[in-house]
Chain A
Amino acid sequence: MSFEPITIITSKVVRLQVDNIDTDRIIPARFLKSVDSSGFGENLFHDWRYQPDGSPNPEFVLNKPEGKGQILLTGKNFGCGSSREHAAWALYQYGFRVIISSGFADIFRTNALNNGLLPLEVDPDTLARLMEIHQADPFAIWTVDLPSQLLTANCQLPTADCRLPTAFEINPFRKQCLITGSDVIDYLAGLKPQIIEFEANHLI
């Protein structure tokens, strides 16, 4: 799926403070029946977001005033479970570009990177601090500067303490892909001469 490049994202943050959010939570299997890669955003977090009668659940963060933003702040081991890339598509199509957590499941991390979604990993102590900052000022404007690999927050409330600058790590190749909006498929397809040479000596 093609995606918009990421450079600097400046946005409110949506806080979903739950650990181990699995991809069935992000998008239940019954919404994976499309043969296209669009239209998944409306079913993001479906069974938390909507009541059984289909109306929005007012208790769920996406249905609150602070529920719109490009950055999702969430608990550890985000994206565990099923490999469904539809989870990354749903997050992206809802409008998220950055997910901040203290850990991502391996397959989800790769799916996110392949779809213009930055999995921004921080250590558990930093995550706890970020949660506190958000709790103190849910409408603070945060900035994710991918080229400089810096996360900062700008509080709206004078009483809140938003001192932060947090550097984050990312694989340089993946960073470049996100900044340029390119993916790995063309790179691999371009390696065919080496792959064919490899196959000649590979007997399985």
Chain B
Amino acid sequence: MKSKTLFDKLWDKHEVLSLDDGSSVIYIDRHFIHEVTSPQAFAGIEKRGLPFFRPDRAIATMDHNIPTIGQENPVMGAESSLQVARLTENCAKHGITLFGMTHPMNGIVHVIGPELGLTRPGMTIVCGDSHTSTHGAFGTIAFGIGTSEVEMVMASQCLLQRRPKTMRITIDGKLAAGITAKDLILYLISKLGTGAGTGYFIEFAGEAIRTLSMEGRMTICNMAIEMGARGGLVAPDETTFKYLVNREFSPAGMEWDQAVSEWKLLKSDSEAIFDREETFDASEMAPMITWGTNPGAGIPITGTIPDSDPKALSYMGWKGGEKIMDQKIDYVFVGSCTNGRIEDLREFASYVKGHKKADGVTAWIVPGSKKVETQARAEGIEKILNEAGFELREPGCSACLAMNDDKIPAGKYCISTSNRNFEGRQGPGARTLLASPLTAAAAALTGRISDPRRVVIPAEAGTPSHTTNGDE
């Protein structure tokens, strides 16, 4: 039998029809819905007189528009309120499970899917959101779609797709202390470029990936789209199964055992041929930070701002040739579907514990979900944050995309654990520096870009509780 990549195995398993022109009709196992990219799709099927074909395969949440303080009595503009209300109406009308604001299972769509066990190995998963690639960390084909495609999935549970090419990125070795999954993916994008993945589905492999926690793998797959990839995936293993066991919607009992025995088969054959292969060495990686206006503009934190892009330099208010270290920052944002999970908050808290936020820095620490928020409180993370001068907010997309009230003012510098540093992404004129939660913590304590490995000694002995080595 022909050797296959994991991607090819999953694709073939979901192919309803293979068409003459090389495209396929692909069946979708899980459809996540949020308030921004769905109203026109619901209206579309209604206009066509089509029923919502498989409401039991859809799950909805609200995350993009909502405030991250005062959710019990939310203050939102009329347009945001209408989008949120429309989602509630549409879900009720079509029988879709909705985790609305303040619901104990509410949160950013790419945080709640995995943490509730709705995301499982072997699935095809879509959502009208480009960061759907996050779910690939579980060995799924997961990708973002536009609203017309959301409508297609509502109408038929299928999509018409060109089969992407396959790429494998292997990272040998282990990440050193102070270097996280976020640094790894920023490093990869800086080396390969923001368009390198166009037309490809990427499998991430190698020791550095295998030793990552699920949270770390999600951070990697989340930003596969920033390389332009259709999606990214990691073959499931014991780390995956351990993460998923006993989650609210995970299979249980005999069904669990059966599922795990099937999931164990989900890997690329040893002889499988990828259309493109890239290999990197984890030992060459340092804490990364972006200086420019696309996610490929990452440099080591000890590095020098290049003078290659005058437009980006002008936007960022920087000169080429300067060191990026010690540049002043105004805002710190920890959160988003990239780094808003419990492990990210643990890392941040362990770093700032016993220290104080720098004067003049505004910090927004935003859990990715209600469960993360609750857990952060239960574990004492909120207490640590408060003592260090930080506040834990309520879940949502927050300052990642300047769609709700959490916007960075024009000209201000924000060190952000999110995924995009495009011009205006965090607000018109806002200047975004992408980095890991640890690097954000170091900057939050000093008010300047700082190397998390050196500048601040954690209050407790030892290194912060990295999750990059997975051998907890």
User: Chain A residues in contact with chain B, CB under 8 A?
Assistant: 1, 18, 20, 22, 24-25, 28-30, 32-37, 47, 52, 76-77, 80-85, 88, 103-107, 110-111, 114-115, 171-173, 183-189, 191-192, 194-195, 198-199, 202, 204
Contacts and interface: CB of A to CB of B under 8 A. Distances in A.
A195 B157 contact: yes
A32 B36 CA distance: 7
Nearest to B150: A85
Contacts of B145: 83, 107, 110
A146 B165 CA distance: 27
B306 interface: no
Given A28-B402, A103-B195, A204-B122, A189 B155 contact: yes
Contacts of A195: 16, 25, 27, 53, 156-158
Nearest to B295: A81
B424 interface: yes
B228 A22 contact: no
A106 B230 contact: yes
Interface string B11-24: 00110110101010
Nearest to A171: B21
Interface in B344-388: none
B195 A77 contact: yes
B182 interface: no
B325 to A, nearest CB: 26
B83 A35 contact: yes
Nearest to A18: B311
B389 interface: no
Nearest to A87: B146
B198 interface: yes
A81 B162 CA distance: 19
B147 interface: yes
20 contacts: A20-B194, A25-B423, A28-B402, A29-B401, A33-B83, A77-B194, A80-B228, A82-B129, A85-B37, A106-B198, A111-B148, A173-B21, A173-B23, A183-B148, A185-B155, A186-B48, A189-B155, A194-B25, A195-B25, A202-B14
Contact of A83 (B120, B146, B160, B429): B146
Given A24-B420, A172-B21, A194 B128 contact: no
A80 B36 contact: no
A158 to B, nearest CB: 35
B82 A76 contact: no
Given A83-B144, A84-B37, A107-B145, A188 B424 contact: no
B403 interface: yes
A84 B164 CA distance: 20
B465 interface: no
Of B29, B80, B82, B425, chain A has the most CB atoms within 10 Å of the CB of: B425
Given A80-B294, A187-B160, 13 more contacts: A24-B423, A29-B401, A35-B86, A36-B39, A36-B43, A47-B423, A83-B128, A88-B146, A114-B148, A188-B155, A191-B156, A192-B53, A195-B156
A199 B123 CA distance: 13
Lowest 5 CB-CB distances: which A-B pairs, in order? A33-B79, A85-B146, A114-B148, A111-B146, A35-B39
B8 interface: no
B84 to A, nearest CB: 10
B423 A35 contact: no
B273 interface: no
Given A30-B403, A83-B146, A173 B19 contact: yes
Given A20-B194, A24-B423, A1 B156 contact: no
